[in-house]
Amino acid sequence: MDVDELVAIDVHVHAEVSADGHLALSPELLEASAKYFHAEEHRQPTIPEIADYYRQRNMAAVLFTVDIEHATGHPPIRNEEIAEACAQHSDVLIPFASIDPWRGRAAARAARRLVQSYGVCGFKFHPSLQGFSPNDRMAYPLYEVIEELGVPALFHTGQTGIGAGVPGGGGIRLRYSNPMLIDDVAVDFPELHIILAHPSFPWQDEALAVATHKPYVYIDLSGWSPKYFPPQLVKYANSLLKHKILFGSDFPVITPDRWLADFDKLEMKPEVRPLILKENAARLLGLTKERSSNGP
């Protein structure tokens, strides 16, 4: 991957369909998500199609699925398939894995194997969909291995469009995605690099507090058009957190084209834009020089 030639690095892209047509979510949850994002017409691109999409835009993408089998009974797309596909398109795709933390010690062993044998570069968690509190000690053996391996953990935070409008929210509990629960993880695993995904509605101030206080906690801006960002998020992105804010789209429900068009209209300092779009992610993912929480 030629980082110098990239326009941007999108740290939040979903693999929604496997090579054999298996979907990452049940049809009911996919339909609810599409309605929430007003993306009813979007289709689930294959991994090679995602690679072509980002290659045409001279961008790289962090790609993952979400393992929610424990909570929903729906099998995930295999992490190995995603990693192998990313390896075939390593000029633009960066593989993350998702492991159900309810698997306990088996989850920790799987994480080690995926990094060491498949080149996985990080891990995605969705506490609300996976049905666990991030600070539940049952997940700690998995975090311990991720911290040891030196790769980031990305946690969904805030409200989710998945399950929105479904009776009972499809059984999804929003409270598991409060960033303050991840603050405990940052305390107990001080060397673990953590990404808080999305503007964390209704807990934006909590996310900003955690990222400001904990040196290895970052925020990605996926899942929202920049025109809807709360003012305090923009203020911190322009100042205290300018080296810890990351571009993410939430593709395919939100395209980087739409996100970037709205980002261009946001009042951001010129020197901050390249940090958010590429440089912070490149440093965090180890694509350039050593990672830092305080600056280049």
Q: What's the CATH code of the domain at 102?
A: 3.20.20.140
How much is the average pLDDT of 217-222? Answer: 98
pLDDT tier for residue 296 given thresholds of 50, 70 and 90: very low
pLDDT tens digits along 231-277: 999 999 999 999 999 999 999 989 999 999 999 999 999 999 999 99
Question: For residue 244, what are its two tokens?
Answer: 């810890």
In the chain, how many domains are there? Answer: 1
CA-CA distance, 26 to 271, in Å (whole number)? 42
Which pLDDT value is given to residue 190?
A: 98
Is residue 167 assigned to a domain?
yes
Which pLDDT value is given to residue 73?
A: 81
pLDDT tens digits along 62-110: 999 999 887 778 788 999 999 999 999 999 999 999 999 999 899 999 9
Of 56-70, 135-149, 214-228, 281-295, which gets the smallest average pLDDT? Answer: 281-295
Is residue 289 assigned to a domain?
no
What's the CA dihedral at 96, 102, 106, 108 to 10 degrees? 50
What's the CA dihedral at 222, 228, 233, 235 to 10 degrees? 130
Question: Is the pLDDT higher at 108 or at 40?
Answer: 108
Is residue 140 assigned to a domain?
yes
pLDDT tier for residue 140 given thresholds of 50, 70 and 90: very high
Question: Is the pLDDT higher at 103 or at 162?
Answer: 103
Q: Pick left, alpha or beta for residue 188 (phi over 0 → left; psi -120 to 50 → alpha; otherwise beta).
A: alpha
Which pLDDT value is given to residue 71?
A: 78
Is residue 290 assigned to a domain?
no
Question: For residue 218, what are its two tokens?
Answer: 């970052």
Is residue 278 assigned to a domain?
yes
Show the domain range for 96. 3-284
Is residue 163 assigned to a domain?
yes
Which pLDDT value is given to residue 75?
A: 84
Is residue 293 assigned to a domain?
no
pLDDT tens digits along 121-137: 999 999 999 999 999 99
Q: Residue 195, SS3?
A: strand
Q: What's the mean per-residue pLDDT of the chain? A: 91
Is residue 102 assigned to a domain?
yes
